[in-house]
Amino acid sequence: MSTVRIQVSACALSATVIHLRYRPNYAVSTSSFNNHFSIKPLKVSMSSAPPSEPLEVAVKASLTTPNKIGDCPFSQRVLLTLEEKHLPYEPKLVDLRNKPEWFLEISPEGKVPVINFDGKWVADSDLITQTLEEKYPSPPLVTPPEKATAGSKIFSTFIGFLKSKDPNDGTEQALLNEPSPFNDYLKENGPFINGERHICG
C-alpha cells in the first residue's frame, strides 16, 4: 500500500481554530432547549449586527477528554464560521455514544451540528453555514464558485479507497493522483484556496 502526502498548504486552517475549545464559562442547560426542529431552508433577513444572545449550537463532544469539543469536521466547520464572523455562540456538547433525550428532541436523526435560529433548530452544516452567510453577510466567507471545486474530490476519493476491498480496483491510484491537481492549483493561486484570503466557507 502506498501513502499519500498532502502538503500542509492543502490542509491550511485559520488561526482561529484555537478558539474552538469548549468554553466552560457557559453553563450547559438542557432546559433552554425547546422542541423546535427544522431541516427546511429558512427564510432569513439580512443583518450585519450580531445576535443579542449567543447562538445555541449542539456539537459533538470529545470521546476522550471531558468538556472538550470533539473531532466532527461538520461541527468544526460551523464553529469556524461562527468564529470568523465574530458571532457569539454557546456550544452544547453532545456525547454521540449516549445521546441525551433533549438532543434527540431537537435532532431526531441524532446528527450534529444543530443550531438554534430564532427558536427553530436547524441541522446540516451546509444549510447552517449558508444561513449564517445570509443572516450575517459580513465578513463574507463564501468561496467564489470558480474556486469552490478545487480539491473537492479528495475526500470522496479517500472514502472510496477506504471502502474498497479489491486492491486492483484503481481506488488506490485514484487517491494517489487526486492531490496533484489540487496542489498545482494552490501553487498557482494560493497559498489558500481563495488566494490570499485564509477562510473559505
Residues with Cβ within 8 Å of residue 52, at least 6 apart in sequence:
none
Helix, strand, coil percentages for the chain (3-state, nearest 5):
35, 15, 50
Q: Is position 72 annotated as part of the catalytic site?
A: yes
The string of DSSP letters for 81-125 reads HHHHTT--EEEEEE-TTS--HHHHHH-TT--S-EEEETTEEEE-H
Out of 20, 72, 112, 115, the active site residue is 72
Q: Which three cell numbers stand for residue 41?
A: 431552508
Distance between CA atoms of residues 11 and 137, nearest Å? 25
- Active-site amino acid positions: 72
